[in-house]
Amino acid sequence: MTGSSSVPARRKKKITVGRVLFLFFAMTVLLTFAALFLFPTVFTVTNSFMSTTEITANYGKIFTGLGVAGSGGRVFIGEQVNLQLIPNKVSFSQYATVLLTSPDYLLKFWNSVIYVLPIVLFQLMVAAGASYAFARVHTKFRGIVFFAYIILMLMPYQVTLVPNYLVIDKLNLMNTRWAIILPGIFSPFSVFILTKFMRRIPSSVTEAAKLDGAGEHQIFFRIFLPLCQSVLYSVAILVFLDYWNMVEQPLILLTDEELYPLSVFLSKINQGDTGIALAIAVIYMVPPVLLFLYSEDYLIDGISYSASVKG
Amino acid sequence: MSRKTKTNPAEEEARPRGKKRRFGLSRRERAERFATSFYMFPSLAGVLTFFILPFFVVIYYSLIDDTSSGIFVGIDNFTRLFENSAFKLALRNTGLFSVTAVPLVVVLALALAVLLDANVPYKSTFRTIFLSPMIVPAASVILIWQVLFDFNGVVNSAISFFGGDPVEWLKSDYGYLVVVMLFLWKNIGYNMIMFMSALSNIPRDIIEVAMLDGCGPVRRFFSIKLRYLSSTISFVTIMSLINSFKVFREVYLLTGDYPFETMYTLQHFMNNTFANYEYQKLSSAAVVLCLIMIVIIGLLLFIDDRAGRGLDE
């Protein structure tokens, strides 16, 4: 979509002084931003390969200062923190600790998986059906419902978590995995994108199928779902990223820290053991990064589909 | 948006003559409605159960004095809410944040999208890099922000290297700046992709006609492209606004439950109210926020509608 930027119709590109100046300016800006954007990530990854002694030597002042709460104010050390991008000695000791000796972190990682996978799967199933109903048949009622979905999608957590909380409480699901999973399944975001996509499927396609004797189920399973395959994948990635990062819901709907996903739990280890926190942070970004590397185009398409309220 | 059931020549023909139409619909149309309504059912049931119906309960709770007695007190809860200093602080902080950070993220994302749209080398690499914060969980890099902005942190050593005075970034009014930076870092990529897709959807012939007429790149941007982007701009603004309400995430990860005053967001207020089971306060806060959001979204959609006029499609 964005790939075909060089239009053949454009006549021989003159290399003017203006163009060179522009390119110089553009590259400067872009490179500066790129460096700023990459820095935190690169830094996290490289530093996770430092041994504990190296980390303490470099950043000990910050994190011991944070950890000792009762020490009455901050100890001002003249020495500054030492920012080091590349470890002196590459060490896998942090990873070894995380993976082998302290199962607690892996448990939280598993918690994240257990929340996110069912949410992605069932949200897509539920949303695909709803979108089919919205896209195939227009009635006043469905128009109103779809509008309600958009409004709901645009509401911040501070609003939607309150009704969620009331229901979860009534159903006695507070502090269980269902408290996170059930509201997640019915999030209207994917309905919004899928409906917009399905509305673009020309009605001639369904008419032709009907003339050939296809029923609603066949039209849905044999025509709509296959046509939506790529957008379903795009939406799946967006939903995955959203819930992999969740913080608000677990904090309110779960009280037991054992049930916390890693996205919340990480803030708790940060203060204790920096090296381990770095390693677990890197492990935590592996699934989304892998997903991204294999399907960047889908992600970009997904974002592009969502780019306007109108159909 | 085409109304498929209404204008459908194939169906008009297919309908057998002489059969009575009930409610002005053919049997076929009714069958279609009936069958597809089953597809809608799971989603609608879930949304009603978890969001819409309980929201009416929230409205009800916001109007009574206690969940057990249920005495109707009118707007008392709301007046008390607006007297609550924590709520006022949270609302002010969040509002201030949205008002400054949202335009900033929209303008920066648009600027980067325009730069990338102008045939620069390594376009897709840059796109990937700008998108990367979206993929990297905020929780993963929060440690680095602490290293950067701690009192003994990297930014302060740079400042004192140049002879300035170090700043308590996370425990002063500057904390706000740190959060804005985090927000920008996290959200620019997503918005930029939306702008890039909108830019590539602008009809090429219009741009080329303008170029033939000797219209320079700056003028092309302001008089043509910006008009085509107007609906994307309003949508990106809405999305960024919603994401600005999520900035609590970063603040929480950075500073925990009790941040410095300028970083106390609405979500902090909600969390504390949840923890104390103060249903009335909570409900009235949710209702107030919901109203504020509806007004803002309505306003943006109205502006969008106005600005988008005159373009075909």
Percent of chain A clearing pLDDT 70 (strictly above): 84
Tell me, what's the pLDDT at A226? 92
pLDDT in tens, B190-217: 899 999 988 888 888 888 888 888 877 7
CB contact under 8 A, A41 and B252: no
List Cα–Cα distances, B129 to A22, A300, B185, B192, B279, in angstroms.
21, 13, 11, 12, 44
Listed range (A58-67, A162-171, A266-275, B167-176) with the worst mean pLDDT: A58-67
**B85-308 has which fold?**
MetI-like fold (1.10.3720)
Q: Are A299 and A290 in contact, with CB atoms under 8 Å apart?
A: no
B199 or B156: which carries more pLDDT confidence? B199
Q: Are A2 and B195 in contact, with CB atoms under 8 Å apart?
A: no
Radius of gyration of chain A (CA): 25
CA distance A2 to chain B (A): 6
Listed range (B14-23, B129-138, B279-288) with the worst mean pLDDT: B14-23
pLDDT in tens, A189-237: 899 889 988 988 888 888 888 888 888 888 999 989 999 988 999 899 9
CA distance A131 to A196: 8
B206 lies within 8 A of chain A by CB: no
Q: Which pair of structure tokens corresponds to residue B109?
A: 């994302």
- Could you tell me if the ipTM is greater than 0.90? no
Looking at the partner chain, which of B50, B139, B252 has a beta carbon nearest the beta carbon of A164?
A: B50
CA distance B87 to chain A (A): 12
Domains, chain A, with CATH or none: 47-68+79-91 (no CATH), 102-305 (1.10.3720.10)
Q: What is the mean pLDDT of residues B55-73?
A: 85
pLDDT in tens, B126-143: 988 998 888 888 777 777
Looking at the partner chain, which of B36, B43, B231 has a beta carbon nearest the beta carbon of A216?
A: B36
Q: What pTM does this model have?
A: 0.85
Contacts of A215 in chain B (CB under 8 A): 35
Spans of all domains in chain B: 20-63, 85-308
